[in-house]
Amino acid sequence: MNIKIIGVGKLKEKYLKQGIAEYAKRLGKFCKFEIVEVPDEKAPEKLSAAEMEGVKEKEGERILAKIRDKEYVYALAIEGKERSSEEFAQEIAQLTTYGRSDITFVIGGSLGLSPAVLKRAETKISFGRFTLPHQLMRLVLSEQIYRAFMINNGSPYHK
């Protein structure tokens, strides 16, 4: 099984890198886990709606270039469906049961994901209505993926 997280922008914070590295190490016994960073589009603070769409489109092209046809894609989006950890674990288990062993999660930049990326995704997932930094989402998502494997293996990790 291959699990990939595609994130926009370079992760700079040491504590986030350390947390993700810990979960990547733990996930190593269950799957091949990788994080792919695509460059964010440099943009001024104040953007028009058209400029925002342009930024998302350029970032979206970079994201789509990292996704292969056979990959099952989850887009992290505020309008996505919220799931419990148990529901998420069950989804992962079902995907693998039906031969979908290449799963990719996409985390957009600060402006979100382009329509093209959202269209490519088989499903949208939301972690609630909170606004969280996209860099922090990499850590949260890594932990939830690990938790899903632990649930599916009957581990007491998930309480």
Residues that constitute the known binding site for S-adenosyl-L-methionine? 76, 108
What residue has token string 């996409």?
A: 106
Residue whose C-alpha is closest to residue 4's, from 112, 123, 145, 151 = 145
Distance CA 65, CA 68 (A): 8
**Binding-site residues from annotation:** 76, 108
